[in-house]
Chain A
């Protein structure tokens, strides 16, 4: 089932005479059938509102939502055929796991009504899919966070929804479980082929499991692309900064005679008119080179397992430190370090609009 969002806008009327809050502003997107989409952005960017609009828990101020060819814009959630998984899981504490999973089926009416056996069979099938069959008679409180999350997913899947919506489903889990459950969600989504929308503020999470990522900021969609493209070809400084750990290094720079300067260091040739620019360099975009053009003051070296990061400072850097990840064999010594920059890890932004001017700049 493809999902189409057409000029979707949600405005919350002002409170106490403040300005109206535009939670979602003119969102256009067609989610292809059977794909997993990550809605990514900082808190308050409108990603959860978008999810609520798709689920029908909220109705848009303007714009339309289609499931396939059906206009569901004003349809109540129970008639949309969606499955929803909450950050808090929202498992009913007074019901067992099996009762929780069966609950959605018990609400079927008329010709869709199921017998007790059919319900149980479907619930078991869903439980098998998320691998929680041993716990069917337990109450949610007797299970770990990861297990509860699986139950929540089973409950969302049991009625075979047309669209599966996940609202920050991993943020209540600890780091190790998060990794595991992330893979689980990916596997389940592949197996069932249900179109899925996944909301998260964790860029790593979004990048690792999504077919496509939608980056939002203050209600406005910034970029829709597959994960690698969003990382390599960000449309503006915000997207570039939001994705990647450690974050991208940002410098004030200038183009003079097709030469890019960071501070006074002429780092590389570029194909741009003369102007002031913002230079973004991914941490992995630095190469140690005694004759390199970028001259930084060394602060320290951190060895973290496989990687070594060189922390230094540069007068034109917008952040107090410049972080560069280099492979461990390189030796670092002395008070100054010099780098060469990898062109395809360097992005130039306009100094005023912060829009991307060029990436993969050619030397």
Chain B
């Protein structure tokens, strides 16, 4: 009997410890979730407060009773926000499409074609992965300037249409396609290019989709290169646009309007994320790093 009552004590202690641990865990996780979400809430909230209401609040209010769309109108009229937006879309889409073509061809060559010097070239590619962007950006800036491509889309796009990392990722994926399929296609007289287009790409489409999404995110958020290569508003991307708004535009005094602009440029990616969050997280955990 003594042992049984001792057991009861152990049971009770265990249960209490478990429930405390669970509660603490949830509290901490919720706390961090709030810290993550709060800036988003705050930007939305501020963007619908009227200019006078916002400046009149010494203590910022956590909600507003009279939301207004005025700031969005202001954001689109005071600066060419729509222009920044369409520039970014053009830049993002063309960079992504060209990059996909380049890396698919390269990955296919590395994964399936046999040619002299292949492995050595791939080794060289891998070693180039270590080179930080900051090291080569200086010369690229000079190159693009010398080519007269400042303030053009080509100047924005060209330096970022190859990614060794994505070539590597895709090559690994291509190699998982069984050799037998290639041999069967050869026997049937399929050309290499047709095989790539009709067999490899469809089979590896999950990886290609992941790469596409990651590249879109990277392009949408790119700031440094566009800043170096454009100084005319007609070619600004959203990141540069928002920075200009903040430093020399209405952002210096009209914070609600600036927040409206921030909301506008953040929304496309957030929507993309909400739709594809599983794919994105899976892709990133497979080895992506932030830009």
Taking a contact as CB atoms under 8 Å apart, the answer to whether A74 and B3 are in contact is no
Distance in angstroms from B211 CB to nearest chain A CB is 33
Which residues of A are found within 8 Å of B7, using beta-carbon distances? 70-72, 75, 79
Taking a contact as CB atoms under 8 Å apart, the answer to whether A75 and B10 are in contact is yes
Task: Indicate if A300 sits at the interface (CB-CB under 8 A).
Answer: no
Taking a contact as CB atoms under 8 Å apart, the answer to whether A70 and B4 are in contact is yes
Task: Indicate if B11 sits at the interface (CB-CB under 8 A).
Answer: yes
Mask for A81-118, Cβ within 8 A of B = 1, else 0? 00000000000000000000000000000000000000
Mask for A65-79, Cβ within 8 A of B = 1, else 0? 000001110111001
- Complexed CA–CA distance, A76 and B3 (Å): 14
Distance in angstroms from B280 CB to nearest chain A CB is 25
Distance in angstroms from A235 CB to nearest chain B CB is 36
Taking a contact as CB atoms under 8 Å apart, the answer to whether B11 and A74 are in contact is yes
Which residues of B are found within 8 Å of A72, using beta-carbon distances? 7
Which residues of B are found within 8 Å of A70, using beta-carbon distances? 3-4, 7
- Complexed CA–CA distance, A72 and B11 (Å): 9
- Complexed CA–CA distance, A137 and B10 (Å): 37
Distance in angstroms from B228 CB to nearest chain A CB is 47
Which residues of A are found within 8 Å of B10, using beta-carbon distances? 75-76, 79
- Complexed CA–CA distance, A72 and B7 (Å): 7
Main secondary structure of the interface of B (DSSP, over half): helix
For A68, the closest partner residue in chain B by CB is B3
Distance in angstroms from A140 CB to nearest chain B CB is 27
Which residues of A are found within 8 Å of B11, using beta-carbon distances? 74-76
Q: How many A-B residue pairs have CB under 8 A?
A: 15
- Complexed CA–CA distance, A70 and B11 (Å): 13
Mask for B259-288, Cβ within 8 A of A = 1, else 0? 000000000000000000000000000000
Distance in angstroms from B15 CB to nearest chain A CB is 8
For A80, the closest partner residue in chain B by CB is B7
Identify which of residues 1-34 in chain B touch chain A, using a CB-to-CB cut-off of 8 Å: 3-4, 7, 10-11, 14
Give chain A's interface residue range (CB within 8 Å of chain B): under 10
Distance in angstroms from B2 CB to nearest chain A CB is 10
For A70, the closest partner residue in chain B by CB is B3
- Complexed CA–CA distance, A74 and B15 (Å): 10
Distance in angstroms from A6 CB to nearest chain B CB is 15
Distance in angstroms from A190 CB to nearest chain B CB is 28
For A76, the closest partner residue in chain B by CB is B14
Which residues of B are found within 8 Å of A75, using beta-carbon distances? 7, 10-11
- Complexed CA–CA distance, A75 and B3 (Å): 12
Distance in angstroms from A146 CB to nearest chain B CB is 32
For B3, the closest partner residue in chain A by CB is A70
For A74, the closest partner residue in chain B by CB is B11
For B13, the closest partner residue in chain A by CB is A76
Which residues of A are found within 8 Å of B14, using beta-carbon distances? 76
For A75, the closest partner residue in chain B by CB is B7
Identify which of residues 198-243 in chain A touch chain B, using a CB-to-CB cut-off of 8 Å: none
Mask for B171-187, Cβ within 8 A of A = 1, else 0? 00000000000000000
Which residues of B are found within 8 Å of A71, using beta-carbon distances? 4, 7
- Complexed CA–CA distance, A71 and B4 (Å): 7
Which residues of A are found within 8 Å of B3, using beta-carbon distances? 70
- Complexed CA–CA distance, A211 and B4 (Å): 30
- Complexed CA–CA distance, A75 and B9 (Å): 10
Distance in angstroms from B7 CB to nearest chain A CB is 5
- Complexed CA–CA distance, A109 and B81 (Å): 67
Mask for B159-175, Cβ within 8 A of A = 1, else 0? 00000000000000000
- Complexed CA–CA distance, A284 and B4 (Å): 52
Distance in angstroms from B1 CB to nearest chain A CB is 9
- Complexed CA–CA distance, A342 and B131 (Å): 81
Which residues of B are found within 8 Å of A74, using beta-carbon distances? 11
Mask for A303-341, Cβ within 8 A of B = 1, else 0? 000000000000000000000000000000000000000
- Complexed CA–CA distance, A70 and B7 (Å): 9
- Complexed CA–CA distance, A76 and B7 (Å): 9
- Complexed CA–CA distance, A76 and B13 (Å): 10
- Complexed CA–CA distance, A76 and B15 (Å): 10
Which residues of A are found within 8 Å of B4, using beta-carbon distances? 70-71
Distance in angstroms from B22 CB to nearest chain A CB is 15
- Complexed CA–CA distance, A190 and B14 (Å): 35
- Complexed CA–CA distance, A235 and B7 (Å): 39
- Complexed CA–CA distance, A71 and B6 (Å): 11
For B11, the closest partner residue in chain A by CB is A74
- Complexed CA–CA distance, A75 and B4 (Å): 10
Which residues of B are found within 8 Å of A79, using beta-carbon distances? 7, 10
For B10, the closest partner residue in chain A by CB is A79
Distance in angstroms from A73 CB to nearest chain B CB is 9
- Complexed CA–CA distance, A79 and B4 (Å): 12
- Complexed CA–CA distance, A56 and B145 (Å): 71
- Complexed CA–CA distance, A55 and B206 (Å): 42
Distance in angstroms from B171 CB to nearest chain A CB is 29
Identify which of residues 182-230 in chain B touch chain A, using a CB-to-CB cut-off of 8 Å: none
- Complexed CA–CA distance, A10 and B83 (Å): 63
- Complexed CA–CA distance, A74 and B9 (Å): 11
The 15 sampled A-B contact pairs (Cβ below 8 Å) are A70-B3, A70-B4, A70-B7, A71-B4, A71-B7, A72-B7, A74-B11, A75-B7, A75-B10, A75-B11, A76-B10, A76-B11, A76-B14, A79-B7, A79-B10
Which are the 9 A-B pairs with shortest beta-carbon distances? Answer: A74-B11, A76-B14, A75-B7, A79-B10, A70-B3, A71-B4, A70-B4, A75-B11, A75-B10
Q: Which residues of B are in contact with A by a Cβ distance under 8 Å? A: 3-4, 7, 10-11, 14
Given contacts A70-B3, A71-B4, A75-B11, 12 further A-B contacts (CB under 8 A): A70-B4, A70-B7, A71-B7, A72-B7, A74-B11, A75-B7, A75-B10, A76-B10, A76-B11, A76-B14, A79-B7, A79-B10
